């Protein structure tokens, strides 16, 4: 049987994650994050999203993973029972579709939540089989807004999952196997310029990131931030404690008036007073979105000029906003 050459080329070509060529334009250095569709919706909306970007090719596409949730449902007989339901399945399938159909580098998220170590091992084997080579490893959030609790036999921290992946790269499995094969995963992790909500302080957060790098992580993507000084200060502090891996800044567009209150509350981040004031003066959310796009473009331009290893845009699958951001980066799609 002849292998699909295009798929093999995509899997084997050198990764562009975490590096930018000298003189590369801002537009060409931007990557995006997307989410799988809700269960039952099919992949058509994501195909339309990527086709809607026209001839612009993101540097890479990261695809989120959503753990199953415990829910209470009532049967037709009126009995209450708890079930496990995944609202957004299909991350691996979406990654394979994007790579094969659009010839883009894809970065699947791999999370701790909802997985035992054996579950993680099986999922990683599947990712290896379909040719995924670069992963973003994060702990994941707790269920229904509650505190994070690891699955039975699962990892409590992202660094432990990084260590498991590096062990697989050496052919070391949780479950003993005969003639173990090695994998060749490259791992990225999360970073938090304004300190993770559960970290004691910046020093604790930096030590956590340093542990991830020592475990085998080779790049990081940050949580969203709206003040570039937060990113610059964080990177300087990270270098000060010996962290050397590329730290890619993550940006999100404010598109609703509620964002200036909800995002700081959810993600423990700060909003620049000037942005808050500008949003407060808007007549509706369409004006807010225009303000948010301008703010993101200004952030991205300053970051690129400072020599960052790319800019990552959290799109929330919002095609119109993403197109307007890309158009503003350097002409192109309208």
Q: Average pLDDT across each block of 10 residues of the chain; the chain has 334 residues. List them in order.
A: 45 79 92 90 91 95 80 66 58 94 96 90 95 93 70 92 97 92 97 86 94 98 97 98 98 96 92 97 96 97 96 97 93 46
Whether residue 317 contacts residue 98, with contact meaning beta carbons closer than 8 Å, is answered with no
Q: So what's the pLDDT on residue 195? A: 86
Burial class (CB in 10 A: 0-12, 13-18, 19+), 108: buried
Whether residue 323 contacts residue 53, with contact meaning beta carbons closer than 8 Å, is answered with yes
Q: So what's the pLDDT on residue 1? A: 38
pTM, two decimals, is: 0.90
Each domain of the chain, given as residue ranges in start order, spans: 5-11+25-330
Tokens, residue 166: 């590096």
Label each residue of 77-135 as H, E or C.
CCCEEEEEECCCCCHHHHHHHHHHHHCCCEEEEEECCCCCHHHHHHHHHHHHHCCCCEE
Nearest alpha-carbon partner for 186 in 79, 106, 94, 268:
106
- How would DSSP label each residue in 202-237? HHHHHHHHHHHHHHT--EEEEEE-S-HHHHHHHHHH
Q: So what's the pLDDT on residue 12? A: 58
Q: So what's the pLDDT on residue 197? A: 77
Beta bridge partners of 72: 82
Q: Please, what CATH class does the domain formed by 5-11+25-330 belong to?
A: alpha beta
Whether residue 193 contacts residue 225, with contact meaning beta carbons closer than 8 Å, is answered with yes
Q: So what's the pLDDT on residue 8? A: 46
CA distances from 227 to 230, 252, 288, 306, 325 (A): 6, 12, 17, 14, 18
How many degrees, rounded to 5, is the angle at CA 20 between CA 242 and CA 318?
105
């Amino acid at each position: 049987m002849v292998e699909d050459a295009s798929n093999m080329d995509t899997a084997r070509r050198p990764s562009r994650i975490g590096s930018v060529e000298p003189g590369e334009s801002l537009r060409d250095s931007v990557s995006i994050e997307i989410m799988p569709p809700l269960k039952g919706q099919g992949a058509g909306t994501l195909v339309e999203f990527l086709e809607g970007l026209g001839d612009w090719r993101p540097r890479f596409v990261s695809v989120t993973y959503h753990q199953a949730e415990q829910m209470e449902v009532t049967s037709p007989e009126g009995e209450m029972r708890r079930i496990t339901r995944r609202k957004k399945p299909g991350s691996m399938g979406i990654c394979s579709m994007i790579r094969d159909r659009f010839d883009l580098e894809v970065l699947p998220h791999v999370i701790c939540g909802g997985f035992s170590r054996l579950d993680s091992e099986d999922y990683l084997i599947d990712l290896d089989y379909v040719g995924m080579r670069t992963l973003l490893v994060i702990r994941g959030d707790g269920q229904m807004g509650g505190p994070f609790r690891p699955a039975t036999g699962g990892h409590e921290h992202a660094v432990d999952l990084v260590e498991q992946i590096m062990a697989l790269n050496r052919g070391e499995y949780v479950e003993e196997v005969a003639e173990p094969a090695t994998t060749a995963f490259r791992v990225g992790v999360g970073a938090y310029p304004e300190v993770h909500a559960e970290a004691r302080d910046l020093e604790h957060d930096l030590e956590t990131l340093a542990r991830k790098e020592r475990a085998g992580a080779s790049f990081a993507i940050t949580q969203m931030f709206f003040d570039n000084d937060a990113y610059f200060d964080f990177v300087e502090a990270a270098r000060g404690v010996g962290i050397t891996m590329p730290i890619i800044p993550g940006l999100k567009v404010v598109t609703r008036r509620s964002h200036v209150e909800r995002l700081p509350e959810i993600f423990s981040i700060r909003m620049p007073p000037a942005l808050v004031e500008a949003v407060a003066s808007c007549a509706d959310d369409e004006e807010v979105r225009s303000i948010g796009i301008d703010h993101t473009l200004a952030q991205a331009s300053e970051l690129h000029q400072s020599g960052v290893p790319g800019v990552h845009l959290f799109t929330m699958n919002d095609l119109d906003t993403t197109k307007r951001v890309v158009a503003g980066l350097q002409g192109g799609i309208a």
